[in-house]
Amino acid sequence: MEYRKLGNTDLALSVITHGAFAIGGNMWGGNEKKDSIDSIHASLDYGVTTIDTAPFYGFGLSEEMIGEAIKGKDRSKIQLLTKFGLVWDGSNNGKGEFFFNAEDSGKQIPVFKYTAKANVIKEVEESLKRLGTDYIDLLQLHWPDNTTPIAETMEALELLIQQGKIRTAGVSNYDVDQLKEASQTLELASNQVSYSMLNRSIENNHVPYALATNTGIIVYSPMERGLLTGKYFNESKLSENDHRNGYFAQFDLDKVKTFLQVIEPIAQRKGATLSQLVLKWTTLQPAISIVLAGARNAQQAIENAKAVNINISDEELEIINNELSKF
């Protein structure tokens, strides 16, 4: 496994990080607890020391399973990354910014973006309990909340660092202007953003800013929620309540299928899967610190971890990038 320093911090994170959204189950058609915990154990066994989650994933379930999976293990060798700022239990008392209605057991649950200081502190205590730990390595704002001043949220993070409850702080889904405003109060370690072969918009502004300020970029959805594995063009069928039924509709699926057919021989020559080739390509892009890869079972976790072992030549990169330029 390869490990990279995150931005301006002393955190050394595994370049392939276990993304724990799917094991929470909600929005992903559910998942088996044993498979979820096995996926975490397999990640750790293959050198993936970093796990990224959030309270919203499974409404606390993802954090709880991570806590169970790492119980008794050497905590100093595991980096826990979680988030705050999405409230679904009504504890915000109507405050914050309405985000969307999440479905759980057939019920519509309103989710709010809420990053007021008191709520940040409250959520951290809840996450620490679920994770079974006394500190979080990287705490990240999940989504910007336009009803709370950025400075107030950053002050809460600064206090938590001083208290030793978090080692460092970052954000998710911030634009560059928001990053600049936040930096007036607190030096952020990272920004977690969506990035993939099919979604490269961060290259215009986020990447130059990250390079100029030594801010880490954590990538989520590098596989576009499984689309770039290629399997959904073959045998796989999504559950009715799987959010990807709608998510995949944003892409020109015929173009995506053609692209994967062109690059698949590169993966085959290396004895690798399309997933591994895509993950490796993502780790090679400028300013990228770590790449989140979801795994719902041990086999997927092992496959993700082994992606770092692939070597992509300059010629192969050129082939891939030339095909991507057609999108």
CA 182 from centroid of its chain's CA atoms: 21
Detail the DSSP E strand segments found in the chain. Answer: 3-5, 12-14, 16-19, 50-52, 79-84, 86-87, 97-104, 107-113, 136-141, 166-172, 190-194, 216-220, 288-294
- Are 86 and 142 in contact by the 8 Å Cβ rule? The answer is yes
* Known catalytic membership, residue 209: no
CA atoms of 143 and 138, how far apart (whole Å): 15
CA atoms of 306 and 35, how far apart (whole Å): 19
102, 142, 147: which is closest to 123 by C-alpha?
142
**Number of Cβ within a 10 Å radius of residue 89:** 12
- Are 139 and 83 in contact by the 8 Å Cβ rule? The answer is yes
CA atoms of 77 and 168, how far apart (whole Å): 16
What single-letter amino acid sits at 264?
A: E
CA atoms of 120 and 156, how far apart (whole Å): 7
CA atoms of 113 and 235, how far apart (whole Å): 37
- Are 189 and 221 in contact by the 8 Å Cβ rule? The answer is no
- Contacts for 126 with CB less than 8 Å, ≥ 6 apart: 55, 60
DSSP 75: G
Question: Which is catalytic among the residues 3, 46, 57, 209?
Answer: 57
CA atoms of 154 and 187, how far apart (whole Å): 9
DSSP 241: T
Tokens of 40: 């975490």
**Active-site positions?**
57
